[in-house]
């Protein structure tokens, strides 16, 4: 091991800071509402019912994540990528979307899929390995998870160009104008695919919002080792605007994403949103974060918990009482039991279904490959 590598390993873990003065925040970690001249208008019409439904989504998503983690540890799933700590970034941005907008997720957006109306069993199907993808992307305008880091940025940009060529941008008709949103992490922002998507989207004013969840760690690499400037400032180098938002503040992520989507739908081109948040758990269940980060950092971020801050705000403003929070917890218990029962009783799909959706119509090559596969499987039965 070189002296340089040894020296780097001996460096203290860098402080992640508080997001800096450019970060948009509408709800402090203490649950206090703060005003912002540009973004208040996006949340001022939210009712108490709306805010309580935000809270419910946050709690159910956290429970989904906890069950996914536990099921993997009990051998019921092959892998689980946790979103613990990132619930507000996902629910806030997901609730800002219109039904006809289209989402291109990475593999951690269980919360976005939930608020888009996707059956939560779908992501469990994928990680249990009993389906070839988990869901039909057209049902909720929510694309399949992309495991290849950053590749979905190119898919999203291409889809956005299709939306533009169909004339569904800048018409002024809210039921027609469409935006595309692409989720990725801070590590993916260093990938070539993402940077190529930035170049193309900026050059052709593609109606796409690049939503980066900066959870501070690209597996074991801190974001401070990936960039010398805040991630949102990278957009300027490609010729479009970037905004940093408190990713643990559901009101701010909802407001900023609404603004970004409006810009895209209006024909003003792409925009980068950096949701400044933190991955409280492991990168996936195949990872051990105690090998590369200190517990003090995790403890610090517990004070910025997205659920606790909204709960505090609701209670302080008299918009929810203890009976409401108890009812949500009880609903989460039922939700978790149904998830678990649904997961352990899932049926494995026949292997030949992998050819079913390669082409929209039957294709002779697919038919031949399917037949060869079935014959191969049958050969094992004959050998018994």
Q: Which of 62, 63, 143, 283 is catalytic?
A: 283
| Annotation says 292 is catalytic | yes
Q: CA dihedral defined by 53, 246, 160, 114, rounded to 10 degrees?
A: -30
Whole-angstrom Cα distance, residue 122 to residue 127? 9
| Ramachandran sector of residue 182 (left: φ over 0; alpha: ψ -120 to 50; beta: rest) | beta
Q: CA–CA distance from 35 to each of 26, 44, 46, 105, 232 (Å)?
A: 6, 10, 15, 31, 22
Checking DSSP bridges between strand 221-222 and strand 217-218, what pairing results, if any? antiparallel
| Annotation says 41 is catalytic | no
Whole-angstrom Cα distance, residue 363 to residue 69? 39
Tokens of 272: 């980068």
Tokens of 248: 């643990």
Closest by alpha carbon to 97, among 273, 254, 272? 254
On whether the CB atoms of residues 27 and 256 are closer than 8 A, the answer is no
Using alpha carbons only, how large is the chain's radius of gyration in Å? 22
What are the φ and ψ backbone dihedral angles of 97, each rounded to 5 degrees? -75, 150
| Annotation says 52 is catalytic | no
Q: Which of 36, 98, 155, 292 is catalytic?
A: 292
Residue located via tokens 């180098």: 237
Burial class (CB in 10 A: 0-12, 13-18, 19+), 90: buried
Q: Report the length, in residues, of the chain.
A: 384
Whole-angstrom Cα distance, residue 149 to residue 291? 22
Whole-angstrom Cα distance, residue 344 to residue 311? 33
Range 1-8, long-range pairs (CB < 8 A, 24+ positions): none
- Strands of 180-185's sheet in order across: 102-104, 180-185, 208-214, 271-276, 241-246
On whether the CB atoms of residues 307 and 116 are closer than 8 A, the answer is no
Q: Which of 279, 304, 309, 370 is catalytic?
A: 279
Which residues are known to be catalytic? 279, 283, 292
């Amino acid at each position: 091991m070189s002296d340089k590598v040894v020296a780097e390993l001996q460096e203290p873990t860098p402080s992640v800071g508080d997001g800096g003065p450019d970060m948009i925040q509408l709800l402090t970690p203490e649950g206090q509402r703060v005003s912002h001249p540009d973004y208040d208008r996006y949340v001022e019409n939210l009712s108490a019912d709306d805010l309580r439904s935000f809270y419910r989504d946050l709690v159910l998503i956290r429970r989904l994540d906890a069950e996914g983690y536990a099921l993997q540890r009990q051998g019921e799933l092959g892998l689980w990528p946790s979103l613990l700590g990132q619930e507000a970034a996902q629910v806030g941005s997901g609730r800002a979307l219109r039904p006809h907008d289209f989402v291109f997720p990475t593999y951690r957006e269980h919360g976005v899929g939930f608020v888009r109306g996707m059956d939560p069993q779908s992501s469990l199907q994928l990680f249990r390995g009993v389906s070839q993808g988990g869901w039909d992307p057209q049902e909720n305008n929510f694309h399949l998870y992309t495991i290849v880091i950053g590749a979905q940025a190119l898919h999203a940009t291409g889809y956005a160009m299709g939306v533009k060529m169909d004339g569904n941008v800048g018409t002024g008709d809210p039921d027609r104008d469409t935006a595309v949103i692409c989720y990725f992490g801070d590590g993916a922002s260093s990938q070539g695919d993402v940077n190529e998507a930035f170049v193309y989207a900026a050059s052709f004013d593609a109606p796409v919002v690049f939503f980066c969840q900066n959870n501070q760690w690209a597996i074991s690499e801190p974001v401070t080792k990936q960039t010398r400037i805040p991630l949102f400032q990278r957009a300027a180098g490609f010729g479009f605007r970037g905004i940093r938002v408190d990713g643990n503040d559901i009101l701010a992520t909802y407001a900023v994403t609404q603004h970004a989507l409006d810009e895209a739908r209006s024909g003003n081109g792409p925009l980068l949103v950096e949701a400044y948040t933190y991955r409280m758990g492991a990168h996936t269940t195949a990872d051990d974060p105690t090998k590369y980060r200190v517990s003090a950092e995790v403890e610090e971020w517990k004070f910025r918990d997205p659920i606790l801050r909204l709960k505090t705000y609701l209670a302080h403003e008299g918009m929810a009482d203890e009976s409401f929070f108890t009812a949500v917890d009880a609903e989460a218990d039922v939700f978790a039991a149904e998830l678990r029962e649904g997961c352990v009783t899932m049926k494995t799909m026949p292997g030949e279904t992998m050819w079913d959706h390669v082409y929209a119509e039957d294709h002779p090559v697919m038919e031949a490959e399917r037949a060869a596969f079935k014959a191969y499987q049958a050969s094992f039965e004959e050998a018994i």
